[in-house]
Amino acid sequence: MFNMLYRGLQIIVLLMVSIMLSVTLVKLTTSPPLKMVSVDVASIIKAFAKESGKQPLSEHQQKRLSHDFANALTEVNQAYAQEHHAIVFVSGAVVAGVKDITSEIQAEVFSQIDLKLA
């Protein structure tokens, strides 16, 4: 009688350990859920055009600045998505309920290309 009870407890403990290991394995191998955020790219482009237009630049310098801006905008969005485990949507594709990170992205992009907002 005691041996059967002892054997039953062993099985229960083994099952509990197995379940705990399974849960731990799932938590370690499953990535956290993605966040969704939006960026108003059009407003960032308008702000860039407005601010870069105030600077006395040659055509070559303007092209270079525009190229740097486009690269920075792409890189900053990709970095944000990776660092925050997020999907970045254009704000026009979002109806509601998503955090807007436009000002954060714009500040970082302008910082990278050394463009100051007036």
CB count, 10 Å around CB of 9? 10
Backbone angles phi, psi at 115, to 5 degrees: -110, 125
Q: What is the pLDDT of residues 24-45, one digit of tens each?
A: 888 788 877 889 999 999 999 9
Q: What is the pLDDT of residues 73-118, one digit of tens each?
A: 999 999 999 999 999 999 888 878 899 999 999 999 999 998 655 4
CATH number of the 35-112 domain: 3.30.910.20
* CA-CA-CA-CA torsion sign (23, 26, 27, 33): negative
* Global confidence as pTM: 0.71
